[in-house]
Amino acid sequence: MVPSQSSGMLDGIYVLDLASVGPAARASRWLADYGASVTKIGPVPRDDGVQITPPAYAYSASRGMDRALFDLKSEMGRDAFLALANTADVVIESFRPGVADRLGIGYEDLCEDNPGLVYCSTSGYGQDGPRSGWAGHDLNYLAVAGYLHCSGRGPNGGPALPGATVADSAAGGLHAVASICAALVARGGSGRGAYLDVSIADGTLSLMSLYVDEYLATGTEPGPGHNLLTGRNAWYDVYEAADGGWLAVGAIEPRFFANLCSALGCERWLKHQNDDAAQDEMRADFARVFKTRSRDEWVADLGPADTCVSAVQTVPELVDDEQYCARGVFIEIDHPTEGLMGQVAPVLAGQAGADEMTISDQRVTNTAARLAGAGLTSDRIAELLDEGVIA
């Protein structure tokens, strides 16, 4: 059985995802949460080592998706996949540039019989250019796009490691989702699909455009502390409280800054918000005052007082956070082998609810059912299963 899927904005869109991890897997997760029907494509058991198997909880445990296995290196397996791809609206792949073409499952191979197909290739550096064949991970893309250089410094004086995979998620996964949705809208008018070259490094550059554009326009070189968002000002920083907890302060607007100074008893800085010469002493004053009370005491007073102060929460804290809980962003879903599993619910604006979604047993595949839906006969499917080119 194909898992049930809540209706959503992408209801009726069928997606094939050839990736097991990374930005492409994030993209198909979000597309499914928008209501698309997603089939995860993997290798047959004899080729299990070809793909990484993520932990059971990863990517929301593939909730609302099904699974089909093919030997894409065999002619029969490839042809079976091509038959399924003829029924798809979207194909997402994350092979090294050129690999999909060599396997005979590239865009040109698929769009000949499916001209409305939106084909999304996700890669680190894009399909061309001198680094297109390089391996990389989230940290590498944050490095080359200037993100790390503009971030704070760690104990050794070098850029601090980020606390989340910003490149894989925002610059890769959401980049792919936005591109796919735009291509689907365009297809509604033209009937033609599109080929999308989603480069994670390019996506990271787009996230850095505020700083890069500043440099190109003014010649000012961005870096740690170069402007209000990267540590230049005392009123946009983090401070330790008396109990060792930390507070984030982002009092950019003058009225928020004034409220903060008044609440901290630091009124002498009211007329010096943007005075560079005052920032070090202002920061020391703020740090001294924040150390007089616990984190949660400060948040209780300053949070609702238009000061732009919030707690730096741990993950265990945020899952009990009153704001998140009030918005219903956490759910429990029954995993076929792991039992009840907590997850982040579909939280992006307009996404379908997860209340009707199920998690497929990854030991069971839907290959035969999907191929039958693509028009293959039961005899042909039986032959493919006997040959071991599908599973």
Active site residues: 137, 168
As given in the structure block, the two tokens for residue 189 are 């008018």
Spatial distance between the Cα atoms of 369 and 367, rounded to a whole number of angstroms: 6
Spatial contact of 21 and 375, defined as CB atoms under 8 Å apart: no
Place of tokens 């209780």: 300
Could you tell me which of 160, 266, 141 has the C-alpha nearest to residue 205? 141
Task: Name which of 98, 302, 119 is nearest 198 in CA terms.
Answer: 119
In the chain, what is the straight-line distance between the N-terminal and C-terminal CA atoms, in Å? 15
> Residue 308 is encoded by which pair of tokens?
């732009």
Half-sphere exposure of 233 (CA within 13 A, CB side): 18
Burial 15-31 (b: 16+ CB within 10 A, else e): bbbbbbebbbbbbbbbb
Both structure tokens of 213: 């554009």
Residue 111 CA, chain-centre distance (Å), reads 27
Tokens standing for residue 37: 């029907």
Asked whether the beta carbons of 81 and 59 are under 8 A apart, the reply is: no
Between CA 222 and CA 205 the distance in angstroms is: 14
Which one, of 244, 215, 249, lies nearest residue 233 by Cα? 249
